[in-house]
Amino acid sequence: MAKSESINLTINGKKITADPGMTILDAARSVGIDIPVICLHEATTPEGICRQCVVEVDGWSRLAPACITPAAEDLDVETNSERVVRARRTILEMLGASVDISQSPELKRQMEKYQADSERFPGAKKRDHKVLDDNPFYVRDYSQCVLCWRCVQACADDLQYTYALDLGGRGHDSQIITFYDFPLPETTCVFCGNCIAVCPTKALQDKTEYLVEKGFQHNEIRARRRQERQEKRRGS
C-alpha cells in the first residue's frame, strides 16, 4: 500500500509538514508551537468545547478550534494574532467572572499570560454550589467546574465505561450531574478516580486531599472515615 502523502501548511510564518490525520493542534505541537487548551486532555477525545485553542486561518471568516480542525494542504495559520488573543482573553475573563478558578494553576497561568481581567464582567452570575460529600473517596465542588466535559468523557467511552456522570440543566444552570441527581454510591460509579485525574480544576477532588487542605490532621481524617463506615453499616 502506498504511503499517504504529507501535508504542507504554514503556522506563524513557518513551513510545517504534517502527517495525514493530524489536527492543526497536532501539527503545531510537533514543531514546538504552544496552543493553550482547557477542555482537551491526552486521555479524552477532542470535542472543541472550550474554544480556547482557536487559531486564525487565512481566508476563513471564523476562528478555528485547533484541536478538531484537520491540518490541510496550504493552510496559513496564525496562533497568536490579535483576534485570537482577544478571543482567548475573553473566554478566560468570562470563566473568571463566573467560576472559582483559584485552585487551577493552569488557568491562572493562562489568565496571567493573556492579561485577562476577572473583573471585566462585574454583573456576572457566579456558580455557587455546596460541596457534595456523598461518598468515602472524593468530593464534588461544582463552584469550580468549568464544564470542560473531561470527567464525563473519562467516565464514559474514553476510559471507564460506567456512565455515572453527565451534563444536566441549560444555559448558566448547566452542570455536571449524576442521573436523577442520585448520590454517587447509588449510581454506576466504581470510584476509579479517572474523573479526578482529568479534572483541570478542583471541582472533583480526592477527599483526603480536600480534608487536609481544610486543616484536618491525618488522625482526624481516619477517625472521620471510621465513623462514616460505622454509620453506613448501621444504615444498611
Domain boundaries, the chain: 7-80, 138-235
* Reported confidence tier of residue 118, pLDDT bands at 50, 70, 90: confident
pLDDT in tens, 182-202: 999 999 999 999 999 999 999
User: What's this model's pTM, rounded to 2 decimal places?
Assistant: 0.86
Which CATH number applies to 138-235?
3.30.70.20
* The pLDDT of residue 154 is above 70: yes
* The pLDDT of residue 142 is above 90: yes
Mean pLDDT of the chain: 91
Q: Which of 24-28, 54-58, 136-140, 208-212 has the lowest mean pLDDT?
A: 208-212
Which whole number is the average pLDDT over 153-164?
96
For residue 232, the model assigns a pLDDT of 66
Q: Spelled out in words, what is the top-level CATH class assigned to the domain 7-80? A: alpha beta
Distance CA 51, CA 67 (A): 9
Q: Which residues contact 5 (CB under 8 A, 6 or more apart)?
A: 20
- Which residue from 50, 124, 52, 62 is spatially nearest to 94, judged by alpha carbons? 124
- Location of C-alpha cell 478558578: 101
For residue 1, the model assigns a pLDDT of 36
* Reported confidence tier of residue 2, pLDDT bands at 50, 70, 90: very low
pLDDT in tens, 64-98: 999 999 999 999 999 999 999 999 999 999 999 99
Degrees to nearest 5, angle at CA 29 with 5 and 154: 100
Distance CA 132, CA 125 (A): 21
Which whole number is the average pLDDT over 54-64?
97
State the cell numbers at 211. 480534608
pLDDT in tens, 208-230: 888 888 887 878 777 777 777 67
